[in-house]
Amino acid sequence: MTKKDIIAEKNTGADDDGFTLVELLVVLAIIALIAAIAAPQVLRYLGSARVDAAKAQMRNLESALELLYVDAGRYPTTEEGLSALVERPAGFTSWNGPYMKQTAALRDPWGNPYQYKGPEGLSGYSLMSFGRDGKPGGDGQDADLSP
C-alpha cells in the first residue's frame, strides 16, 4: 500500500460511526435547559401582548361608538350592547353602520365578550374587559382592563 492509498483511506470516513448516545443526550439536555429558561419569558411576553391588544381593541370600539353617536345622536343602551356596532338595533332610526366589520371584534384577545354598560343619567357609557379569567377583579393578566 502506498502513502497515497493510506491518505485516501483516511479521508473516506469509513471509520466514522456517527454520534454516540452520550453526545446525543448532552445535546438534548442543553436544548431542554434552554427551553426551560426561555419558555416563561415567552409566555410572559405573550400575556402582556394580549393586554396591549385588548386596550387597542377597546380604543377601536370607543371610536366606533363615537361614530354611532354622531350618526344616531345617542349611544347604545346596555340591552342593545356592542352588537349595535355590527347590526342595526330596532331603536335606531339613523344608523349608518356597520361600524365594526364582524362580531368577533366584540370579544377580547382571550375570547371573552367586552363588558359594555350604556349611559345612565349624566354619566357616559363604560367599556371594559375582565381580562384572561373573564371574571371581575384579579391581578396581572386576570385584572380588569379599560381603554
How confident is residue 3, by pLDDT bands cut at 50, 70 and 90?
low
CA quadruple 69, 75, 80, 82: dihedral sign: positive
DSSP tag of 131: T
| 43-91 pLDDT, tens digit each | 766 767 888 889 999 999 999 999 999 998 889 999 999 999 999 888 7
Spatial separation of the C-alpha atoms in residues 102 and 86, rounded to whole Å: 7
- In this prediction, residue 5 carries a pLDDT of 63
CATH number given to 57-147: 3.30.700.10
Residue-range domain boundaries for the chain: 57-147
| Contacts of 50 by beta carbon, 8 Å cutoff, 6+ apart | 109, 110, 132, 141
Is pLDDT larger for residue 17 or for residue 125?
A: 125
Query: Contact 116/126 with Cβ under 8 angstroms?
Result: yes
